[in-house]
Amino acid sequence: MTVDEVTTNLRRAIASQTRVVGLTWVHSGTGVKLPIRQLAAVVSEANLKRSETDRILLVVDGVHGFGNQDETPVELGCNFFAAGTHKWIFAPRGTGIIWARAENWARIQPTIPTMHGVAPYEGWMEDQDPGATQADFVSPGGFKAYEHLWAMPEAFAFHQSIGRKRIAERIAALNTQCKDGLARMSHVKLHTPRSPELSAGINCFEVAGMAPDTAVQKLLEKKVIASASPYKTSYVRLAPSLVNDEQQVDQALRAVHALS
């Protein structure tokens, strides 16, 4: 994989009828991290020749980059950014965020009525137009798991206390250690790019002659937690995070080596 290959593929794929480009920042099936900034530049280039009503929106699924990369949605250059926060942020399961600039919220129309925003609720009560869509218009109605929502600020504060740059460097170091170790094993085929510019916190690989689920079970017997990607093409995955250290990465690599 190269940045030029990916940007060229996107440039060729954009057609006159294209209105939305959807990208996954870090692919959970391969560990590949897309160069979102460069891809955003391709979309911006295509938009130069379009009217405001025809411009392409860039929507990013950022779940496996949000919390381990030193980039914000604004810096990435996307129009909409969605991410669960129960993975790398360590917030409760079932929590997440959607980010957009105000002008982009105004371009969409909610499909589910909300009880969260005051303006749409009062507009419904008074039979009046609530105006342009805002972020809180898109939050679905009903009762929330408030104890989960109340825990989210603590998770974000934990990350902010460490700092996004330090976290990104730590994740890159641990995962480089993991990938380099896997790449040296003759019975292992690493599918994730070794460069930190093209990968993040997920390392996908095959063990020769062994099904991914079998490898995961054997690693668990050695007290190493791995997973098998739940897709048509499945790989074994290791994902060192802030809760791990170098010794634990070495322990995981020894366990993988023993699978030979």
- pLDDT value of position 23: 98
Clarify whether residues 39 and 155 are in a common domain: yes
Bigger pLDDT: 222 or 142?
222
Digit-coded pLDDT (tens) for 76-90: 999 999 999 999 999
Clarify whether residues 117 and 61 are in a common domain: yes
For the chain, give the percent of residues with pLDDT over 90. Answer: 80
Q: What would the mean pLDDT of 191-204 be, rounded to a whole number?
A: 96
Bigger pLDDT: 31 or 53?
31
Clarify whether residues 20 and 141 are in a common domain: yes
- For residue 162, is pLDDT > 90? yes
Phi and psi of 58, rounded to 5°? Answer: -100, 115
- pLDDT value of position 95: 92
Based on the number of CB atoms within 10 Å of its own CB, is 60 exposed (0-12), middle (13-18) or buried (19 or more)?
buried
Give pTM, 2 decimals.
Answer: 0.91
Clarify whether residues 110 and 235 are in a common domain: no
Residue that terminates a domain, selected from 105, 127, 162: 162
Clarify whether residues 40 and 142 are in a common domain: yes
Clarify whether residues 232 and 155 are in a common domain: no
Which amino acid, residue 54? D
- pLDDT value of position 225: 97
Cα 37 from Cα 73, distance rounded (Å): 10
Tally of structural domains, the chain: 2
120, 141, 21: which is closest to 76 by C-alpha? 21
Which amino acid, residue 49? K
- CB count in 10 Å sphere of residue 233: 11
CATH assignment at residue 36:
3.40.640.10
Clarify whether residues 102 and 222 are in a common domain: no
CA distances from 164 to 67, 69, 161 (A): 8, 7, 9
What does pLDDT average to over the chain?
Answer: 94
Clarify whether residues 157 and 180 are in a common domain: no
Q: What would the mean pLDDT of 200-217 be, rounded to a whole number?
A: 97
Question: What's the CA angle centered on 258, arms 255 and 260, to 5 degrees?
Answer: 135
Q: What would the mean pLDDT of 139-145 be, rounded to a whole number?
A: 76
- pLDDT value of position 105: 92
- pLDDT value of position 52: 87
Structure tokens that stand for 129 in this block: 């137009």
- pLDDT value of position 140: 72
Cα 17 from Cα 102, distance rounded (Å): 24
Clarify whether residues 137 and 187 are in a common domain: no
Digit-coded pLDDT (tens) for 104-120: 999 888 887 787 778 88
- For residue 143, is pLDDT > 90? no
Clarify whether residues 151 and 28 are in a common domain: yes
- pLDDT value of position 97: 93
Residue that terminates a domain, selected from 132, 162, 192: 162
- pLDDT value of position 48: 95
Residue that terminates a domain, selected from 162, 181, 208: 162
What is the signed CA dihedral for 228, 231, 234, 238, rounded to 10 degrees? Answer: -40
Domain housing 80: 3-162
Phi and psi of 92, rounded to 5°? Answer: -60, 155
55, 60, 61, 62: which is closest to 107 by C-alpha? 55
Clarify whether residues 69 and 28 are in a common domain: yes
CATH assignment at residue 253:
3.90.1150.10
- CB count in 10 Å sphere of residue 160: 11
Clarify whether residues 208 and 96 are in a common domain: no
Least confident window among 120-129, 137-146, 196-205, 211-220? 137-146
Q: What would the mean pLDDT of 121-134 be, rounded to a whole number?
A: 87
